[in-house]
Structure 1
Amino acid sequence: MNYESTIPSDDLARLNDQDGRSTNRRRLIIAAAVAVVLLLAYVGYHYFTGSGNEDDSVSQAPTVTVMVPGKQQVTRTINATGTLAARREIPVSVVGEGGRVTNVYVDAGDWVKQGQVMASIDRSVQSQQAASLRASVGVSQADLNLAQANLDRAEKLVDRGFISKADIDRLTATRDSAAARLKVSQAQLNETQARNSRLNIVAPKAGFVLERNVEPGQTATQGSGVLFLLAQNGEMELQAQLGENDLANISVNTTTQVTPVGTDKVLTGTIWQISPVIDPQSRQGIARISLGFDRALRPGGFASARIQSGTSEVAVLPESALQNDSKGSFVYIIGPDNKAIRRDVVIGAVSSAGLSIASGLVGTEQVVLRAGGFLSPGETVQPEVQKASGA
């Protein structure tokens, strides 16, 4: 007889559910026990082997090349830019009464000598006035000659009694009046000739013509403005813009190297004047660097200057050691615990030896030479010291 067939179906389902729940409960208990065992094993492993892992972490730290820069004697160099100009600009305009320009004899880019005629102005009317005055001088001279002759003859007749002393005085006065009229005529002629000579536009000094602003046929008067602009003796200058600190570190007669923009020509100049005032807006002043004439120097253009301002002992690093971010320039140095430390620095002069560090380093630190961009503050590294160049 089949026994199972006598159990009702509902009871059979209830028994199956109880068996399933018992099985699941046993599985959960087994899984929890296994997890506890694994956790205890993990804690015990790290407890008994902790020092070994620390050694492993150190051995896995990245290796970086470091150097102890020390200090080197470097020449401080100040880089500046500025505008080129004539050292002494001489504007030339109409000196006399002016008139119509008849000829222009020089152009921009020409050299002129002192007193050289640069342009002439029509003087046809003035020439006639001078001729008239010259004739007046002749008349006055003839009157003087006649008055002198009459006086001479009368003086010879005084002793004979034919001429009185009063006649002599009258003739003397006539002679003196003629002499005075001659002087007046001569002065008027000289004045006219001087005025006429000023109709020519002449170079007051020798120099190089920078601008020509006049053409033949133009009417030039004293209100016409500058007709020519000269650079006295062709001398130029660079008006270099410098900050307050840089101005304090330079002096007159310092030799500089000047490079006009757009050329590779390096010219030698000398600081001849340092601005006694500072612009309150830009906090800058001007150092005037005198330069000899050169076709590469064009007033109004820009140029750069390298000014040597003495020597100092500073740390020098290669460019690869420097990093930059929004806070400025910095390097990574390695502390006693082999951890990377950020150190903010101020870059000074740039030379063939590298970048001088104006402040931020004393020279005894271990500075990361390369791969600083891949480090972060506090990261453990293995430093490998490289001897500083020049040490």
Structure 2
Amino acid sequence: MNYESTIPNKNLSVLDDFEARSVNRRRLILAALVVVALLLAYVGYHYFMGGAAEEDTASQAPTVTVMVPGKQQVTRTINATGTLAARRELPVGVVGEGGRITKVYVDAGSWVKQGQIMASIDRSVQSQQAASLEASVGASRADLNLAQANLDRAEKLIERGFISKADIDRLTATRDSSAARLRVSQAQLNETRARNSRLNIVAPKAGFVLERNVEPGQTVTQGSGVLFLLAQNGEMELQAQLGESDLANVSVGTTTQVTPVGSDKVLTGQIWQISPVIDPQSRQGIARISLGYDSALRPGGFASARIQSGTSETSVLAESAVQHDSKGSFVYIVGADNKAVRRDVVIGAVSAAGLSITSGLNGNEKVVLRAGGFLSPGETVQPQVQKKAGGA
């Protein structure tokens, strides 16, 4: 009896254990599902909020205008300033012994021909000296004629024995002496005439009178300095000051455009000489630009020059795109992540098209045209592409 009663109890215990394990398994599965659902909800929430934050940040980024400059042929232009001067200055002073000025025939601003008399000096004393020498020449010539006649007569008488050989020698010597005195007198007269001719102040070359420093009645000598200053043939020049690098990029014969200060005239000239030395203080040299005569050109005045020095292929930017600080010139470029990045550049020629960038850009970058001064490196922006710099 006891045996039969124990069998059902054992089976019931086994069933209870199986059901307990099943309940626990279901509870674990349910708990796992709850944890997975919570994780998915957490990830979804943060993904949604993060995307919204990024969209909000992008919507708040400043809008900037950018352009891709590319490369283009740019004529290199060098701007320079300098002083106007006569290309060949001819100072004219007293050549002879000087004296009192009797008359001045030209003034500053006059044109003169080579050999033209510009002023004359009193020659009253010199004229008397010349007249005296002319008389001496006449007397010497008369003496020579007489000596020659005596000699001729004596030579006819020597064959008859009336005159000795010694007399002929004496008459010959007298004739030769008279001829020598005539030559001396003639030379003295020629010298006096040459001196008198030098009393006139004459133009050594044709040209334009820049200065007149003499008046009638003034006494002048060789120490009186420059009486007249001429510009030979009226030719002028601009002595343009150029830095070392610019001087190395110009050559003789280069065409230039010159504008005198205070005038709107644009004159065409050519570089005819380049300074072989550099000033050790200013680190500059001089390019001398020849110019024809023009009333707007006044020696001593200033003028500006635009010198064409060849072409090069470079990027050109509007002036608003280039920023400057203590480190030099730079631009902001926008990368694929819409981040502003500083890029140092070197500025070349400046023209109406903009600033030529000789170093720092390859032409394919998106360069910020405006508002670069308000950006910071790494800042997120919204770029709007503009194709041409001319619209900047």
Shorter chain as denominator, the TM-score bin is 0.7 to 0.9
CA distance in 1, matches of 2:139, 2:161: 33
Q: CA deviation at 1:48?
A: 6.2
Separation (CA, whole Å) in 1 of partners of 2:329 and 2:308: 23
**Cα deviation 1:297-344 (Å, max 9, x = unaligned):** 000000000001111110011222222344443221112321112222
Aligned to 1:57: 57
Distance, in Å, in 2 between the alignment partners of 1:351 and 1:80 is 14
Q: Determine the structure 2 residue equivalent to 1:13.
A: none
Mapping for residues 275-314 of structure 1, pairs under 5 Å = 275-314=275-314
Between the aligned partners of 1:281 and 1:264, the Cα distance in structure 2 is 33
Q: TM-score, normalised by structure 1?
A: 0.86
Equivalent position of 2:373 in the other structure: 373
- Structure 2 residue 189 is matched with structure 1 residue 192: no
- The one-letter amino acid of 1:232's match is Q
Measure the CA separation in 1 of the matches of 2:118 and 2:52.
95
Q: Over residues 12-70 of structure 1, what are the superposed CA-to-partner deviations in whole Å (9 max), with x where a residue is unaligned?
A: xxxxxxxxxxxxxxxxxxxxxxxxxxxxxxxx977861232012101221221211111
Q: Which segment drifts farther, 357-366 or 112-121?
A: 357-366
The answer to whether 1:168 aligns with 2:168 is yes
Query: What SS does the corresponding residue of 2:298 show, helix, strand or coil?
Result: coil
Q: Measure how far apart 1:149 and its partner are.
A: 0.6
Match of 2:242 in 1: 242
Q: For residues 82 and 346 of structure 1, what CA distance do their matches in structure 2 show? A: 26
Q: How does 1:35-184 map to 2 (within 5 A)?
A: 49-184=49-184
Amino acid at match of 1:180: A
Q: Give the distance between the partners of 1:147 and 1:50, measured in 2 at CA.
A: 136
Structure-2 residue corresponding to 1:35: none
CA deviation after TM superposition for structure 1 residue 385, in Å: 1.8
Shift of 1:87: 0.4
Rounded Cα–Cα distance in structure 1 between residues aligned with 2:75 and 2:215 = 53
- Equivalent-residue separation in structure 2 for 1:330 and 1:367 (angstroms): 11
Stretches of structure 1 lacking an aligned partner (at least 5 in a row):
1-43
SS at match of 2:268: strand
Alignment deviations for residues 212-268 of structure 1 (CA, whole Å, 9 cap, x no partner): 011111110011100000000000000000011001111100110000000010000
Q: Which residue of 1 aligns with 2:349?
A: 349
How far residue 109 of structure 1 moved from its aligned partner, in angstroms, is 0.4
Aligned to 2:364: 364
* Stretch deviating more after TM superposition (379-388 or 204-213): 379-388
Query: Does structure 1 residue 226 correspond to structure 2 residue 226?
Result: yes
Equivalent residue number for residue 264 of structure 2: 264
Take 1:389 and 1:378, find their aligned partners in 2: how far apart are those partners?
Answer: 24
Rounded Cα–Cα distance in structure 2 between residues aligned with 1:181 and 1:333: 99
Deviations 1:151-206 (A, max 9, x none): 11111111111111111111111000000000000000000110111111100011
Please, which runs of 5 or more residues in structure 2 have no aligned partner? 1-43
Q: Secondary structure at the match of 1:109?
A: coil
The CA RMSD measured in Å over matched residues stands at: 1.6
Distance in 1 of aligned mates of 2:46 and 2:110: 91
1:30 aligned partner: none
Q: Which amino acid aligns with 1:287?
A: A
Tell me the number of residue pairs that the alignment of Structure 1 and Structure 2 aligns.
347
- Hey, what's the Cα distance between the residues in 2 that align with 1:230 and 1:122? 24
Letter in 2 for 1:266: V
Write the distance in 2 (CA, Å) between the matches of 1:290 and 1:269: 5
In the superposition, the TM-score normalised over structure 2's length comes to 0.86
